[in-house]
Chains A and B, each alone.
Chain A
Amino acid sequence: MTPLDYLLLLSLLTVVIALVAGHRSMGGVWLTFTYAAQLGGLMLMAGLTNQPDVITSSLSFTILGQSLTWRYDALSWYFALITISAGLLSTMYTAGDWGEKFRADGGNLWLLHVAIALNVLSMLILLGSGDLLTLFIGWELVSWASFLLMILAGGPSIQAAIRYITYAMGGAMAILAGLALIYGHTDSFTYPAAANILHSLSTAHLWAPLLLLTLGFGVKMALLPLHLWQAAAYAHTPGPGAAFLGAISSRMGLYALIVVLIQLVGLVRVIELPVLFSFISARDVLAWVAAFTIIFPTFTALRQNDARMLLAWHGIGQGGYMLLGLVMGDALGSAGGLMHVFNHATYQAALFFSVAAVVYRTGTADLNRLGGLVARMPLSFLAMLVGIIGLAGLPPMNGFVSKWLVYRSLMLEGEPLLFVAAVVGTLGTILSVYKLIHNMFLGQLRVEHENIREAPWSMTAPMLILSVVVFVTGLMPGLVLQWIAGIQATVGLPVIDYSLGGLDSAQGSLDMLWVVGVLFAGFGIGAVLFYSGGRTHRVHQLDNYAGGHFLSADIRYHYSDNFYPGLMRLIGPLYRYSFAWLESAVQSGLGLLSLSTQGFYRRVAPANYALVTAVLVLLWVML
């Protein structure tokens, strides 16, 4: 019984406990302990990160001559760590008062616990895939488990979930076709066999499977043309469910892409694989898809008026950074991309938890009906503040380190336009996260929110744990970079030479210990300078300069709607919803196709039509 078996069994146990005790109030607490046990089981395998070896699971069987094996290496260990901790924190969030209110409002708490446990189990199975077949099986399990998590809230989430599953099914069929093509060449599903065939395949032959696999995995990662389903699906999932999905679910696509692109095909091959009759290589295509995935969703998020939709759109945008970093292929870029997976998981979960806490207290996430909550919900404000600093990628937090690595690799590789695209994405994020925190927590406190209280401890604890993690990994990025160095060694990427504070290289290093230290020293001096002045006198919210006007509580003077009018006047006409038009075009095309094929089998008298086809088949077989 290898450590991997213990992990899988524990995860199975969690699902069983969720089924049995999910509806009971103590059930959530039990589940949290089992997730903690899973985390412990994972720590047993922590040895994977420092030397590139593999732990195989004893669970393996053969069907029709194909052997299915499960094994863990540093890459899957890293993703499993994020998955299990995301599951742990969201279950801790659900176990407390949020769960009680969710059940009281008619939500199915039992199904939510089961869905999260199933998601974690299926993700662990996907991460452990030893060969292409298990990869596909794990992929299907994950997409169905997340479908279950999305659909359980009912109402608008059903429509979003069905849209997701059509995308996922399309993606899965593409992956199956890709695998079939590879099987055609290698007639075996194991990774080494697939690897040496794909190395030697000619470009014409290689393009088909590569394109199909990338499209398939791109659906889950919400790459640009296939991203329309994710925002609505994640936003309408109940609070902690959305946090779990936002943190890790769409990164499974990235894991599978790394396995296929880097381990099987090999990044060197991808870099110089030319696109037919054009001068650009496959890497440029992927890089520009990633760059546009950064820009368009971020500027769509800028216009959202619902906090959850805004965060979900940012989830798609940040996925672009991860792919951009990986596709660069050098030590810095891939380290930046991989570290961004961890960073994004931490602050995206913290932000979704904070928004769920505000929805728990005020009942709405509409940015035009909130305001001034910092005076009533300071801890949720703190969690959101740390989250948005991380999401925007500003110095003290970990988001900055991974974005710095991506920028530095773009600089070294000499890609000015990609660099500008990434910076435009970051600035768009800064604008929209300030709109988020300003409309929710700053400005005028409404009369009806005057006596709400801070969210209960069971909800603020996970938020604050995540905020501490975001800050600590920002201060000492070396902790995460050591796992990433292990991954780079196993996956075959150039390894990054990291130090505890960050990266020290000849062409300009980053030492977050010094940068954050100096920043806080500056804040200290600023505080000394500030408190050397006179004593401050706090004044009431209405004691405000309004051009000689007497402000009163019934006037709503909080500026929140159409928050960036100047910018929108300039780039407003660019929002032509062209991707939504593309999607509806594909939809109507498929509808037309299905209508025309209907003509064949929906006859007035189906019987004789069946007879004719049977005779034709017989003839064909005979000849």
Chain B
Amino acid sequence: MDALHILIELTLMPLVAFVVGLFMVLMMRRIAARIQRRVGPPLLQPLYDILKLYGKQTQISHGILHDIGIIMAVGGYIAAETMLPVPGMNGIADKAGLITLAYVLMVPSLGLALGVGQCANPNGSIGISRALTAMLAYDIPFVIVIFGVAWQAGSNNLVDIIALQQVDGIASWGIVQTPLLAFAGLFALHAILGKHPFEIYIAPAEIATGPMVEMGGKYLGGLFVMQCFQLYTAGVIYTSLFLGGGENWLTFLVKSFAVVAVPICIAYLFPRFRTEDVVRLVWKWPVMLGLIGIAFVMN
């Protein structure tokens, strides 16, 4: 793999991720609007929001660490995109397996946590303590699912896992081979996205959007970009683990949008769980399902 080829891939993958992410955010807001019997935002609304936020005149910052927090949040996800194989581009998926991807996905939230810490705002600190507790909650089923898939595929390299699933069409998809793991993965995915039932750390009414309380202008713009990446990453991880990755771009995008649409449809029907209920729920059902799934996979 010569250096030029890699360089192109490393710049192209985040761009593709951003554009697809924009449309995923639009889909999310449209679904939310339709559920509330509203018209919903126009087509390019997420792009307008990000442009406006970057174009604001005064950008308020509380210190160098506040800026680095946003840079790590956006940069962490850009790095995570390059580890996600998409049709035609594998990036550095073979050099960094599933566990590394799970860890690289933690880097943005921890960088943001440092940035919010310096804002010295009690709402931000409470939001971060809830976000980390939620991360503790949803990472365990996510890791169990990773263990199951890696054990079944014999390798934790995403390219091999996708190749294994594309051997003979739908029958070899992860969702067909290991339905329990797939469902546990979907549950964990919903918690990772941090959408409504698990949105305790952005609770606007209680702690003024938690970590985002002191983020204005390009700081909030960075977080909107991160949201696009977050939706895209969640969708692509699930498709490559359970829905056989992407033979070509069309089926790949349809699968990713479908995967992201499922939690969002559920999200806007539920109020918010308390922190300990989030932990109790996510540690009970998906963990049990995942372990039973692993039991099936292991023997």
Contact = CB atoms under 8 A, between A and B. Distances in A.
Q: How large is the interface on B (under 10, 10 to 19, 20 to 34, 35 or more residues)?
A: 35 or more
B286 to A, nearest CB: 12
A277 interface: no
Contacts of B92: 511, 514-515, 518
A443 interface: yes
A533 B218 contact: yes
Given A509-B95, A510-B95, A518-B83, 8 more contacts: A435-B129, A508-B97, A521-B10, A523-B71, A527-B71, A527-B75, A529-B225, A536-B61
A564 B129 contact: yes
A374 B95 contact: no
Contacts, number: 248
Interface of B: 10, 14, 54-63, 65, 67, 70-80, 82-83, 92, 94-100, 103-104, 106-107, 110, 113-114, 117-123, 125-126, 128-130, 132-133, 135-136, 139-140, 143-144, 147-148, 150-151, 154-157, 160, 200, 208, 213-214, 217-218, 221-222, 225, 274-276, 278-280, 287, 291, 294, 298
B167 to A, nearest CB: 18
A524 to B, nearest CB: 7
A535 B60 CA distance: 9
B95 A534 contact: no
A184 interface: no
A119 to B, nearest CB: 35
Given A510-B97, A536-B59, A564 B79 contact: no
Contact of A541 (B57, B62, B73, B222): B62
Contacts of A527: 71, 75
B120 A443 contact: yes
A545 B133 contact: no
B143 A420 contact: yes
Contact of A545 (B214, B217, B222): B214
B298 A416 contact: yes
Tell me whether chain A's interface is mostly helix, strand or loop, or mixed.
Answer: helix
A555 to B, nearest CB: 10
A175 interface: no
B76 A519 contact: yes
A240 interface: no
A411 B294 CA distance: 12
Interface string A196-231: 000000000000000000000000000000000000
Contact of B103 (A394, A511, A534): A394
Contacts of A545: 121, 123, 208, 213-214
Contact of A411 (B10, B14, B150, B291): B150
Contact of B140 (A427, A509, A514, A518): A427
Given A411-B147, A515-B92, A522-B76, A533 B117 contact: no
A492 to B, nearest CB: 27
A508 to B, nearest CB: 4
A438 B70 contact: no
A511 B95 contact: yes
23 contacts: A400-B103, A411-B151, A416-B294, A416-B298, A441-B117, A442-B120, A442-B125, A507-B157, A508-B156, A511-B96, A522-B76, A522-B80, A522-B82, A525-B74, A529-B225, A532-B54, A533-B55, A534-B59, A537-B60, A539-B61, A545-B214, A547-B208, A565-B275
B136 A431 contact: yes
A509 B56 CA distance: 44
A431 B119 CA distance: 19
Interface string A554-592: 000111000111110110000000000000000000000
A526 B73 contact: yes
Contacts of A564: 129, 132-133
Given A530-B218, A558-B120, A537 B151 contact: no
A264 B154 CA distance: 33
A534 B57 contact: yes
Given A411-B151, A530-B74, A438 B117 contact: yes
Interface of A: 372, 374-375, 385, 392-395, 400, 404, 407-408, 411, 414, 416, 419-420, 423-424, 427-428, 430-431, 434-435, 437-438, 441-445, 506-511, 514-515, 518-519, 521-527, 529-530, 532-539, 541, 543-547, 557-559, 563-567, 569-570
Nearest to B216: A545
A518 B82 contact: yes
Given A372-B120, A428-B136, A507-B155, A404 B100 contact: yes
A570 B276 contact: yes
Contacts of B294: 416
Given A414-B151, A437-B117, A526-B75, A404 B132 contact: no
B219 to A, nearest CB: 8
A557 B123 CA distance: 10
Contacts of A536: 59-61, 67
B60 to A, nearest CB: 5
A367 to B, nearest CB: 13
Contacts of A385: 114
A566 B75 contact: no
A527 B143 CA distance: 31
A532 B123 CA distance: 28
A518 B79 contact: yes
A356 B172 CA distance: 57
B59 A535 contact: yes
Contact of B114 (A442, A526, A541, A569): A442
A500 to B, nearest CB: 13
A17 B47 CA distance: 69
Contacts of B110: 392, 394, 430, 434
Contacts of A445: 120
A523 B75 CA distance: 4
A219 to B, nearest CB: 31
A462 to B, nearest CB: 23
Nearest to B78: A522
Given A414-B151, A431-B133, A523-B71, A541 B79 contact: no
Contacts of A442: 65, 114, 117-118, 120, 125
A509 B148 CA distance: 18
B151 A525 contact: no
Contacts of A534: 54-59, 217-218
A374 B62 CA distance: 12
Contact of B106 (A394, A424, A441, A509): A394
A394 B107 contact: yes
Given A569-B276, A570-B280, A515 B63 contact: no
